[in-house]
Structure 1
Amino acid sequence: MIAIKMMMRGRGRWALMMLLVITSGTIAAAADYVVQHDVMVKMRDGVQLATDVYRPAVDDKPVEEALPVILSRTPYNKAGGKTMGAYYATHGYVFVVQDTRGRYGSEGVWHMLTDDGPDGVDCAAWIGNQSWSNGKIGMIGTSYFGGTQHAMALARAPELTTVIPVDAMANMGRQSIRNAGAFELRFWNWIFLNAGRGSRAGQDPGTASELKELADQRFAYLENMPTRRGMTPLSLSPEYEDWLISAMEHGPNDEFWAQNNIVDAPEKYKDIPVYLVSGWYDSWGGNNTATFMALTPAIKGPVYMIMGPWIHNQQSGYAHGQVNFGKEAAMANQWAWRQEWYDHWMKGIDNSVGKADPFKTPVRIFVMGTGDGSKDEKGRLRHGGFWRNELEWPLARTEYTDFYLQPDGGLSTSLPQTDQATTRYDFDPKNPVPNIGGNISSADGIMVAGAWNQKGGKHIWNFKAPIPLSARPDVIVFQSEPLEEDLEVTGEIEVRLFASSSAVDTDFTAKLIDVYPPSSDWPGGFDLNIGDGIVRARFRESLQKEVMMTPGETYEFTIKLYPTSNVFKKGHRIRVDISSSNFPRFDVNPNTGEPLNRHRMTKVAQQTLYHDSTRPSRIILPVIPASKP
């Protein structure tokens, strides 16, 4: 072992300035912390999960003091926890990181989160019985292993003291994996990539090679959907194939999606302090606000929430996609701000929690859109924004305002003056509308995430021509006149759409866009995506039950967009795009009414939108009144 380090005293017992360590073997020492690798922790059914334990040390010897524990349970290889482990073990905590069941060094068969409640309870019990533990556990992790925090809280592990779920998997049958009945193909992508990474099947070199080829050919598989059971090399990794095909075939929000369904069962959640973190452009942003709204009245908590202008797992960044939000948008030092929370709730330290940012109030949001709209040094739009503290979500002062789709393609707060106004278009499943940015994670090559000009180019594999998305005949645009003053939109957003179809089942999509006027930096303007959503017609009445349509009959559809906070500046236009696909963000509806993911045929659907006084299609915007001087 070679260790080069510089130490200083900090507010906590241990503080680290710089550490370089080269180690080998099961137990590694770094003078100020030691690591025990590959401890196999037995679960109630005998399956053993691979676990690493990082402990504070003095002169290469672990301290004897029983300390609070920071726990991370991850499907992405516990070896990736070295940075976290070093930080917390040198700041007065024991850090434990564990491969979840069936992943990397752990035994057992992987299932999507369903084992992580009981496994988390068993892991916590093991931690509680160790001499180095004082019986208090705080959890850490993002995305899937943010979801393992929710799973453990729903299982009410006695030792669990607090959680900080970041971009965490929750409410999967509502607006994340299933989104109003449609399937988010980022999870198709996740399975294609991870079936051979860290899986049981991936341990065999020959099988791993086949699964890598599967992953490398994802674009070809996307063009040959649906993915069918047993018909691709994915069958070499059966638990991954089984989950994916089952998930793509199962639409209703029922017991299949019960794990981490906080919205429908918040009373199951353990009453502990919770800090929810996500972004306006993250795939779990809508779930984060939904979880906050569900938990706040259900537990004493307290429950805190922060929402930045971020994409998935990028809280330390300030430019996402094609847009720069300003350096103040970044959350600096990802481990230190979490430590402040842990210190307060696990050590009883009177610090900034409840007193100063980012913990001053229960809600902290980044209000986007107050930049000057120029082009930065890397060619990105300066959209800007600022942080603001709030007491609740949605904001109590919200003025929900209907902006009606007008017969001439306009968008205004005035009800249409005619009782007959329609727009018709064809939706061809073989030529779906391409996705350009948005609330995306696990895209890994098949999509771009975040804020983008709604224009094609080389960065969009299925829309390479540099033309605006609005040029497509199946993208129906409704936009306001240039705004006479700034308008802040902050909160949850819905589109109420009156429509009919020639099909018994189809999709309708909606996208909210901040339209920049032409400028010297952007001669063609900039069509900035703010949020989007979808509804699968067979789930228009309920997420629990499929009901087909009668062709030609008019229905009112509710399309829930992702939440946001954005200032539409004076001179900008508010725009709503209506269509029937957004690919590969969502799977494409074949319009045939066949069972989900089992179709072999497609039909072109003739869609009719109604936007008149008797069928007032509209977007309901949560307008925040301007502050009085």
Structure 2
Amino acid sequence: MKTPMIRSALLAGIAASLIGAAPYQSGKVTPEMVQTGSDIPADWQAPKTGFDYTKTDVMIPMRDGVKLHTVIMVPKGAKDLPILLERTPYNASGFAPNNSPKMKDAVWSGDTDWADGTHILVWQDIRGKYGSEGDYVMVRPPRGPLNPGTTDDTTDAWDTIDWLVKNVQGTNGRVGMIGSSYDGWTVAMALLDPHPALKVAAPESPMVDGWMGDDWFHYGAFRTSNLDYFTGQMTEAGSGPAMPRDTRDEYDFWLQGSVGDIAKANGVDKLPFWQRLSANPAYNAFWQLQAVDRMVAAKPSNVPTMWLQGFWDQEDIYGAVHSWEAMEKAGYGATNHLVIGPWWHSQINRSAWNLGPLKWNGDTAADFRQQVMIPFFDQYLKDGAPAHPLPSAMIYNPAENHWDSFADWKVNADRTMTPLYLQADKGLGFETPGGQGEDSYVSDPAKPVPYIQRPIVAGDEDRWRTWLVQDQRFVADRSDVVSYTTPVLTKTVTIHGAPVADIFAKTTGTDGDFVVKLIDVYPATYPENPEMGGYQLPIAMDIFRGRYRDSLSDPSPIPAGKVQEYKFRLPTVNYEVKPGHRIMVQIQSSLFPVYDRNPQKYVKNIFFAKPGDYQKATVSIEHGGMAKSAVLLPLAQ
């Protein structure tokens, strides 16, 4: 073993030898070694050997000179192929994110089944977003009182389609439009004045009426997560940030003040759309003139259209059904079809083997795309394609686990409604109740009822997507939730349509919200799927802001201590409650923080309620006598 002294001597010798060595010889500098200009070539393109498609980015001019960024994917050797167009605020380039030589592998999941070499795929950034020029306006109103300009998303769709059929090589000149959520709204806007080349359309979960029951409000109750959406959409042309959080639990975050307070603290109050929205909390002309279901009925088109949404769509559960109903009433039922699948929001574009604990027979979304949607489109887009007629409505039956087809799915107004009455002793039944009674609870804005079990974490997509199928036992023991339950059923109860909540109640406050849930209570033990034993599965639920009980456009204080009627429609269903199950109706006054808190004291604008406005209130649900609270069911005849 070498001593430290010997090791030091050896190191010193090595250093001396290096110092005395000859210097490094660099050699001759040749021209190829010299850096000149940028290392990023101006005209470099990746080789496309073996690719079965070509992808190009173009800027398509609109009638006012604004150019919109558009991604076009054409199969190699394309000849007489139709175009599938999607217009989006969510980055057109992101729909074909993968640099794969196979078209099917290059596109996102929603377009995989379309990327089979028989369709030209096109995605476009709407005005002001990502690569497109112009000003971005959130769900830009159509030309008219709210939009004095010369363009809107109807003209932009027209101009885009006109350019595509004239300039894309290999097309047969026919176009179909598709898209979900905001992209579904752009499809619906194109239908207001469709280009002659637009032959078929599918608005999926479209944003149709932001006040009545889609993204922004439900019957006047505001959906708080919109503030994050606003900062993401309207603080930059690309994707902006969500609001910062100083707490992990969203429940605690949204208790810090009114929505207006939180908007101001995070700069949302500087956004023009928030300013317009928060100044119009009631269903006035601002909302009525943007309601797409009204617009498509006023300007109906003959374009065959599939209005599609999810049974438990947690974001846009209102629009597709109401647009289809409006077209039906306008006499265009032959070319308009309703589809409701067993899905969360936009799940049609992903895999759909299950929804939370509910398991289906196969991948219901992929099967639908391949067996129904694409054949439906192709009959209008391709010469010689076989006819693929659709029924009036095609709606999944979650209890039976299969699709049901209806040649004559009636709109709610044409159905006979059967009252399911609240009864004494928290009972529920079809029999007319006896003497009048009531059940009371204290609603406290400081302790609102959560919509899912806490902690509620921002960005938890799995829980957000499935909250409408959350087992409701987690709130069953709360003193501010009242539940009414039928005896065990001895025969099947089949519901075809939209139930209607018809609640009589009084409150010690001068405002208040009413949440009504229609629930299928599973047997205590359920061998077919043990985790569903005793499960309280929501069939349909919604919230109604009490100030709008007499008029959606002209709110008024609730007279304290006086019985009032609160009547509102729940989401459309096709459902069978089986023998051995029970039906439950649950009522509460908050669903937080999906919806903002009602202060329960009448103020002019709840967005800007002050801390002292938030007050406890005793709410009494009436039943029997002259105040027969019920959920009206459209039962199968």
Question: Normalising by structure 2, what TM-score?
Answer: 0.79
Question: Once the 2 structures are TM-superposed, how far is the Cα of residue 24 of structure 1 from its aligned partner?
Answer: 7.7
Q: Which residue of 1 aligns with 2:297?
A: 266
Q: Which residue of 1 aligns with 2:410?
A: 394
- Kindly indicate whether the alpha-carbon contact (under 8 Å) linking 1:405 and 1:617 is maintained by their aligned counterparts in 2: yes
Q: Which residue of 2 aligns with 1:551?
A: 560
- Kindly indicate whether the alpha-carbon contact (under 8 Å) linking 2:352 and 2:363 is maintained by their aligned counterparts in 1: no
Unmatched tracts of structure 1, length 5 or more: 1-22, 203-207, 371-384, 456-466
Q: Which residue of 2 aligns with 1:571?
A: 580
Cα distance in 1 between the residues matched to 2:343 and 2:476: 25
- Cα 1:86–1:576 change in 2 (3 A) is closer
Cα distance in 2 between the residues matched to 1:393 and 1:445: 32
Specify the SS of the correspondent of 2:417: strand
Cα distance in 1 between the residues matched to 2:257 and 2:156: 35
Q: What amino acid sits opposite 1:604 in the alignment?
A: K
Cα distance in 2 between the residues matched to 1:217 and 1:232: 18
Cα distance in 2 between the residues matched to 1:339 and 1:157: 21
Question: Once the 2 structures are TM-superposed, how far is the Cα of residue 442 of structure 1 from its aligned partner?
Answer: 9.2
Cα distance in 2 between the residues matched to 1:66 and 1:169: 33
Question: Once the 2 structures are TM-superposed, how far is the Cα of residue 452 of structure 1 from its aligned partner?
Answer: 3.5
Deviations 1:407-439 (A, max 9, x none): 211001111110x311222111121111139xx
- Cα 1:247–1:212 change in 2 (3 A) is closer
Deviations 1:158-177 (A, max 9, x none): 43221111111112222113
Q: Which residue of 1 aligns with 2:354?
A: 319
- Cα 1:77–1:533 change in 2 (3 A) is same
Verify: 1:472 aligned to 2:478, yes or no: yes
Q: What amino acid sits opposite 2:338 in the alignment?
A: M
Q: What amino acid sits opposite 2:634 in the alignment?
A: P
- Kindly indicate whether the alpha-carbon contact (under 8 Å) linking 1:403 and 1:412 is maintained by their aligned counterparts in 2: yes
* Percent pairwise identity: 26
Question: Once the 2 structures are TM-superposed, how far is the Cα of residue 443 of structure 1 from its aligned partner?
Answer: 7.5
Question: Once the 2 structures are TM-superposed, how far is the Cα of residue 522 of structure 1 from its aligned partner?
Answer: 5.1
Question: Once the 2 structures are TM-superposed, how far is the Cα of residue 323 of structure 1 from its aligned partner?
Answer: 2.0
Range 568-577 or range 169-178, more displaced: 169-178
Cα distance in 1 between the residues matched to 2:182 and 2:46: 27
Q: Which residue of 1 aligns with 2:93?
A: 79
* Partner residue of 1:120 out of 157, 160, 168: 157
- Cα 1:446–1:92 change in 2 (3 A) is closer
Q: Which residue of 1 aligns with 2:229?
A: 190
Question: Once the 2 structures are TM-superposed, how far is the Cα of residue 616 of structure 1 from its aligned partner?
Answer: 0.5
Q: Which residue of 2 aligns with 1:289?
A: 321
Question: Once the 2 structures are TM-superposed, how far is the Cα of residue 66 of structure 1 from its aligned partner?
Answer: 5.6
Larger radius of gyration: 2
Verify: 1:526 aligned to 2:535, yes or no: yes
Cα distance in 1 between the residues matched to 2:246 and 2:180: 23
Q: What amino acid sits opposite 1:481 in the alignment?
A: P
Q: Which residue of 1 aligns with 2:21?
A: none
Specify the SS of the correspondent of 1:531: strand
Q: What amino acid sits opposite 1:274 in the alignment?
A: T
Cα distance in 2 between the residues matched to 1:608 and 1:223: 25
Cα distance in 2 between the residues matched to 1:264 and 1:589: 31
Specify the SS of the correspondent of 1:344: helix
Specify the SS of the correspondent of 2:521: strand
Q: What amino acid sits opposite 1:103 in the alignment?
A: K
- Cα 1:550–1:599 change in 2 (3 A) is same
Verify: 1:200 aligned to 2:237, yes or no: yes
Q: Which residue of 2 aligns with 1:7?
A: none
Cα distance in 2 between the residues matched to 1:75 and 1:314: 19
Cα distance in 1 between the residues matched to 2:507 and 2:610: 20
Deviations 1:117-152 (A, max 9, x none): 332233223224325354432101111101110011
* Partner residue of 1:353 out of 384, 388, 392: 388
Q: Which residue of 2 aligns with 1:408?
A: 425
- Cα 1:445–1:188 change in 2 (3 A) is farther
Cα distance in 1 between the residues matched to 2:459 and 2:569: 21
- Cα 1:598–1:445 change in 2 (3 A) is farther
Question: Once the 2 structures are TM-superposed, how far is the Cα of residue 284 of structure 1 from its aligned partner?
Answer: 2.7
Write out aligned runs for 1:28-427 (5 A): 31-37=51-57, 39-58=58-77, 63=78, 65=79, 67-82=81-96, 83=107, 88=114, 90-114=116-140, 115-130=152-167, 132=169, 133-176=171-214, 177-195=216-234, 199-200=236-237, 213=244, 219=250, 221-228=253-260, 231-235=264-268, 238=270, 241-257=271-287, 258-263=289-294, 266-282=297-313, 283-298=315-330, 300=332, 302-315=335-348, 316-327=351-362, 329-332=364-367, 334=369, 337-354=372-389, 359=390, 361-370=391-400, 385-394=401-410, 399-418=416-435, 420-427=436-443
Cα distance in 2 between the residues matched to 1:451 and 1:235: 28
Q: What amino acid sits opposite 1:390 in the alignment?
A: F
Question: Once the 2 structures are TM-superposed, how far is the Cα of residue 390 of structure 1 from its aligned partner?
Answer: 0.6
Unmatched tracts of structure 2, length 5 or more: 1-42, 97-106, 141-151
Deviations 1:416-475 (A, max 9, x none): 110x311222111121111139xxx997478452553535xxxxxxxxxxx631101110
* Partner residue of 1:510 out of 503, 511, 516: 516
Q: Which residue of 2 aligns with 1:12?
A: none
Deviations 1:560-599 (A, max 9, x none): 2111122111111100001111112322211122213011
What is the RMSD computed on CA atoms of the aligned residues? 3.1
Q: What amino acid sits opposite 1:405 in the alignment?
A: L
- Kindly indicate whether the alpha-carbon contact (under 8 Å) linking 1:27 and 1:36 is maintained by their aligned counterparts in 2: no
Specify the SS of the correspondent of 1:285: coil
Cα distance in 2 between the residues matched to 1:186 and 1:393: 34
Cα distance in 1 between the residues matched to 2:375 and 2:247: 42
- Cα 1:41–1:522 change in 2 (3 A) is closer
Question: Once the 2 structures are TM-superposed, how far is the Cα of residue 481 of structure 1 from its aligned partner?
Answer: 0.6
- Cα 1:89–1:307 change in 2 (3 A) is closer
Deviations 1:535-557 (A, max 9, x none): 11121123222222222222111
Q: What amino acid sits opposite 1:576 in the alignment?
A: V
